[in-house]
């Protein structure tokens, strides 16, 4: 894709990158030379960025520089990146302690999305990259989040939701899942007993929100039964809870 074929929003982003890279006030003529775009297009884009509070003019009225709104956005981005690095470090230490793959997940629509994941050092792995989505009804994290959701919201989410069977142990009826949710709330963790992928088990614990009642996301250990059966995975629950507390502090 050439610069001239970029969508308007991305061209504005490219223009901001130019101004950030220059690190000095620049005039319309200079931006045209730096971007290689037609002067009318650059002028229109500069006006849009100025109107949006992302650029301001110097006192001479001819040169543009970064506005406070854009600087605050940059600071927030850096802060978010730092928090993400901390979360990644917590997961990495968790994997080092447990010896199996661990992940951080959250609810996205009617699915579970992987926010972060660290693979074990073993050659046999299930490569689930950040951004991967899995079904909510047969994943430990999904069932955990559903179990702690307000009943009315859970019913609205699951009403009419297909509950396909992936393995012989997949829970596929609302009644059985409701019983599972009650067990999860009582015991404080959820399991995937080869319900999504045959031969793969998982234990998930909640990462609580600031109110101490809502589940923001879930942290889990996942392993093939050839290396760690479900009973062995459950022995890791106390360490998972420790990591969940640390992860919760990064989400405050």
Task: Quote the radius of gyration of the chain (alpha carbons, Å).
Answer: 24
Q: How far apart are CA 127 and CA 151, in angstroms?
A: 33
- Alpha carbon 45 to its chain centroid, in Å, reads 31
List, for residues 226-239, the tens digit of each pLDDT value: 999 999 999 999 99
Q: Are residues 87 and 47 in the same domain?
A: no
pTM over 0.85: no
Position 130 scores a pLDDT of: 78
In a domain, 239, yes or no: yes
Q: How far apart are CA 152 and CA 156, in angstroms?
A: 6
Instruction: Kindly give the pairing relationship between strand 101-108 and strand 111-118.
Output: antiparallel
Range of the domain at 121: 80-250
Least confident of 149-158, 170-179, 224-233: 149-158
In a domain, 32, yes or no: yes
Q: Are residues 38 and 125 in the same domain?
A: no
In a domain, 74, yes or no: no
Alpha helices, H only, the chain: 8-22, 28-35, 39-51, 68-98, 140-147, 151-158, 174-187, 230-234, 237-250
Q: Are residues 140 and 230 in the same domain?
A: yes
Our count of domains for the chain comes to 2
Q: Are residues 90 and 60 in the same domain?
A: no
- Among 41, 66, 91, identify where a domain stops: 66
Cβ contacts of residue 86 below 8 Å, gap of 6+?
A: 250
Q: Are residues 41 and 92 in the same domain?
A: no
């Amino acid at each position: 894709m050439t610069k001239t074929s970029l969508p308007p929003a991305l061209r504005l982003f490219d223009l901001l990158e130019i101004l950030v890279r220059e690190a000095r006030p620049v005039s319309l003529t200079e931006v045209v030379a730096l971007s290689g775009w037609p002067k009318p297009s650059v002028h229109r884009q500069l006006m849009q960025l100025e109107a949006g509070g992302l650029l301001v003019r110097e006192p001479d009225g001819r040169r543009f520089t970064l506005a406070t709104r854009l600087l605050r956005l940059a600071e927030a981005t850096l802060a978010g990146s730092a928090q993400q690095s901390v979360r990644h470090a917590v997961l990495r230490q968790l994997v080092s302690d447990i010896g199996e793959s661990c992940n951080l997940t959250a609810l996205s629509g009617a699915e579970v999305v992987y926010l972060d994941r660290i693979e074990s050092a073993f050659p046999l792995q299930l490569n689930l990259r950040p951004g991967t989505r899995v079904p909510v009804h047969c994943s430990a994290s999904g069932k955990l989040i559903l179990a702690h959701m307000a009943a009315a919201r859970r019913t609205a989410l699951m009403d009419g939701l297909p509950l396909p069977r992936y393995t012989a142990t997949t829970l596929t009826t609302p009644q059985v899942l409701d019983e599972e949710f009650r067990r999860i709330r009582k015991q404080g963790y959820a399991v995937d007993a080869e319900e999504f992928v045959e031969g793969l088990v998982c234990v998930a614990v909640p990462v609580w929100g600031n109110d101490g009642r809502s589940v923001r996301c879930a942290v889990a250990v996942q392993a093939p039964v050839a290396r760690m059966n479900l009973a062995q995975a459950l022995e890791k629950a106390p360490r998972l809870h420790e990591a969940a507390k640390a992860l919760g502090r990064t989400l405050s």
